[in-house]
Structure 1
Amino acid sequence: MLAGHFGVAAAVKAKTPEVPLWALMLSTQLLDVVFVPLLIAGVESLEPVDGGGYGGVVIHANYSHSFISAFFMSILAGLIALRFWGKRGGIAISSVVFSHWLLDLLVHRADMAILLGAAGNFPLLGFGLWKFPIISIVVELALIIFGSILYHRSLVPKAKGKQRKYAIAVSGLMAVLLTLSLVTSVFGG
């Protein structure tokens, strides 16, 4: 769902121009940014299923991707963003961070904990769209298209003269990069 997360960031950028695109892109991946060192340290892990490939993993991320940790990371990121980009920017960043958990809930198999460390033995969550690669690719592609269209509409109509050409090029480049991130996820394993 990497590309889908980025599609959300592009869509939110269109509605909150005061927040830099890099901050939105980082925010949409914050849970994964926390996951990587925990993966390297052996605290969290990946388990291939169905021969691997696109969505072919169970992700044991009971700390970085639990509902509670996603909620608190989104609040913390929103409070930090509030200092730089005001109330609206803080809400946007907070929402984008938490959107990662919501989108993962759609695609992940039942591997997402509610409480930190899967405490309380609550059932693990996940609707498992990755079991149906075509459907999950379509959902991700829809997020990319939606984000690209909103991003384009936020840049191009405001630009005049030579800047209009740059705005078209930038929005086109964004669409290409988002699409390439999906292609990489699907064919890169």
Structure 2
Amino acid sequence: MFAGHFGLAAAVKAKTPNVPLWALMLSTQLLDVVFVPLLLSGAETLEPVAGEGYGGSLIHADYTHSLIGALLLAFLAGWGAGKLWGGRGGVAVGSVVFSHWLLVHRADMPLFPGNAGGLPLLGFGLWQVPAVSIVLESALVLLGAVLYFRSVTAGAERRRRGWAVAAGGIMGLLLTLSLVTDVVG
């Protein structure tokens, strides 16, 4: 569901023009970025799930993808972004970081780091219903592409409007290609 995350980042960029697009794109994947060193160290793991090509792994990310871990990473990213791009930028980045926790995973995310307390794991499991996941992801991609295109073309000066149209079109194309690779695999 990378495309949906990136579509959300493009939509948020349209509403927070002072935050760089790269920061919003990174924010959508920050939980996974922090997950990689923990995966390599063995503290968190991935387990393939037979018969599922779309999101076909069970993630054991008891630190990065726990509710408390995701909130902490979102807070830290939002705090840092707030220092760089102001309070609104910080809220935008923090919210985008946390959106990763809300949008994707099957019931494989704990409430507390290390799954302390052994409480039930959470997640909507959209990957398990590809048709629903593809529709929602397509909607996020379309919304992000349209809002991004409108924002870059509306803010461009007359002499730079051609570049703005090209940038908006390229973003729409990249989001669409991201969606296609998500769906096809």
TM-score, normalisation: structure 2: 0.95
Report deviation, 1:184.
Answer: 1.7
Aligned to 1:180: 177
Q: Is the 8 A contact 1:55 1:133 kept in 2?
A: no
1:27-60 per-residue CA deviation (whole Å, 9 max, x = no partner) reads 1110010111112222222222242411222111
Q: Is the 8 A contact 2:102 2:123 kept in 1?
A: no
Q: Is the 8 A contact 1:111 1:124 kept in 2?
A: yes
Code of the aligned partner of 1:128? G
SS at match of 1:43: coil
RMSD: 1.2
CA distance in 2, matches of 1:25, 1:181: 13
Residue of 117, 135, 145 corresponding to 2:142: 145
Code of the aligned partner of 2:17? P
Aligned to 2:130: 133
Note the residue ranges of structure 2 that are not aligned, 5 or more in a row.
none
1:121-141 per-residue CA deviation (whole Å, 9 max, x = no partner) reads 110001212111111011111
SS at match of 2:132: helix
Identical columns (%): 64
Code of the aligned partner of 1:25? M
Report deviation, 1:163.
Answer: 1.3
CA distance in 1, matches of 2:182, 2:38: 21
Code of the aligned partner of 1:33? V
Report deviation, 1:158.
Answer: 2.6
Report deviation, 1:174.
Answer: 0.7
Aligned to 1:94: 94
Q: Which runs of 4+ in 1 moved over 6 A?
A: none
CA distance in 2, matches of 1:42, 1:186: 29
CA distance in 2, matches of 1:45, 1:84: 33
Aligned to 1:37: 37
Count of residue correspondences: 185
Aligned to 2:111: 114
CA distance in 2, matches of 1:70, 1:156: 34
CA distance in 2, matches of 1:52, 1:42: 24
Report deviation, 1:77.
Answer: 0.8
CA distance in 2, matches of 1:109, 1:88: 31
Using the TM superposition, name which of 179-188 and 148-157 deviates more.
Answer: 179-188
Using the TM superposition, name which of 157-166 and 30-39 deviates more.
Answer: 157-166
CA distance in 1, matches of 2:127, 2:86: 37
Aligned to 1:54: 54
Report deviation, 1:160.
Answer: 3.5
Report deviation, 1:110.
Answer: 1.0
CA distance in 2, matches of 1:96, 1:23: 10
Residue of 138, 159, 163 corresponding to 1:166: 163
Report deviation, 1:166.
Answer: 0.9
Report deviation, 1:109.
Answer: 1.8
